[in-house]
């Protein structure tokens, strides 16, 4: 190996190490929202406590009893990652910047839909009711939900009014929630700056795992 090639190899190795370190630092910024053992850090709003549980390291909505499960602290701007698994006919959602109450959270906060949309029961749904939609606000790009019973990976980035949703590695929503004046009266939650992260209990069993969050500096 020539001296020049030796120097180039050293530079490339240093750059690769720096890149890996930055990636590791980013990963370390994510904090678990669920410890895989209990519902510590979460509170039930409405419905029955029995609608929620932990099964083999997974956070489970049993789909009975309604209500929702929310974090015990507020989040404003953040990156949220999690895996979810649907069962036939199941219907759930992820709440963002939700008020800590039993109001209509898809309006007073924000809901990202999770739905077994291929089930015959849902054959007439609107595009904004599909998995990954900002419910009643922004429809997702279809075709990225895995077959019912398989795990899906979702990432949600909420930075000020900019909300980006990725499903199984594909961006399916990229929306400015402050650009829907026609929805302002009905969706007061679109103006909220912070609130709870929540999981909805609607119907059917839905499982969650690897719930991670990275708070972001508030967008200007």
Residue 65 confidence (pLDDT): 78
What are the tokens at 166? 């990725």
- State how far the Cα of 79 lies from the Cα of 157, in Å rounded to an integer: 4
Domain range summary for the chain, segments of one domain joined by + = 1-32, 33-215
Which string of b and e fits 130-166 if b means at least 16 CB within 10 Å?
A: bbbbbbbbbbbeeebbeebeeebebbbbbeeeebebb
For CA atoms 22, 158, 207, 113, the dihedral sign is negative
- State how far the Cα of 134 lies from the Cα of 141, in Å rounded to an integer: 12
Distances (CA, A) of 57 to 11, 17, 60, 174: 43, 33, 9, 31
pTM of the model: 0.87
- State how far the Cα of 203 lies from the Cα of 218, in Å rounded to an integer: 34
pLDDT digits (tens, 9 = 90+) for 122-181: 999 999 999 999 999 999 999 999 999 999 999 999 999 999 999 999 999 999 999 999
- State how far the Cα of 71 lies from the Cα of 96, in Å rounded to an integer: 10
pLDDT category of residue 9 using cuts at 50, 70 and 90: very low
What CATH number has the domain spanning 33-215?
A: 2.60.120.560
pLDDT category of residue 20 using cuts at 50, 70 and 90: very low
pLDDT digits (tens, 9 = 90+) for 25-81: 446 789 999 999 999 999 999 999 999 999 999 999 999 878 999 999 999 999 999
Strands lying side by side in the sheet with 68-71: 42-45, 68-71, 196-200, 91-98, 110-115
Residue 28 confidence (pLDDT): 72
- State how far the Cα of 85 lies from the Cα of 90, in Å rounded to an integer: 10
**177: nearest Cα among 106, 129, 114:** 106
Residue 15 confidence (pLDDT): 41
């Amino acid at each position: 190996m020539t001296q020049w090639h030796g120097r180039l190899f050293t530079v490339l190795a240093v750059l690769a190490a720096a890149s890996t370190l930055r990636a590791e630092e980013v990963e370390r910024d994510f904090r678990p929202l669920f410890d895989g053992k209990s519902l510590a850090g979460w509170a039930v709003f409405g419905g029955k406590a029995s609608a929620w549980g932990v099964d083999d390291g997974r956070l489970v909505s049993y789909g009975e009893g309604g209500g929702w499960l929310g974090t015990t602290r507020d989040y404003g701007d953040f990156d949220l990652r999690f895996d979810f698994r649907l069962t036939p006919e199941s219907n759930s959602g992820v709440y963002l910047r939700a008020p800590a109450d039993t109001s209509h959270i898809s309006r007073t906060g924000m809901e990202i839909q999770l739905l077994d949309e291929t089930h015959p029961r849902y054959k007439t749904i609107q595009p904004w009711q599909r998995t990954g939609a900002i419910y009643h606000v922004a429809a997702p790009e279809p075709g990225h939900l895995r077959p019912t019973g398989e795990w899906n990976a979702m990432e949600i980035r909420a930075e000020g009014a900019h909300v980006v949703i990725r499903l199984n590695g594909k961006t399916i929503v990229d929306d400015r929630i402050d650009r829907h004046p026609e929805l302002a009266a009905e969706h007061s939650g679109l103006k909220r700056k912070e609130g709870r992260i929540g999981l909805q209990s609607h119907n059917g069993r839905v499982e969650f795992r690897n719930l991670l969050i990275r708070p972001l500096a508030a967008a200007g």
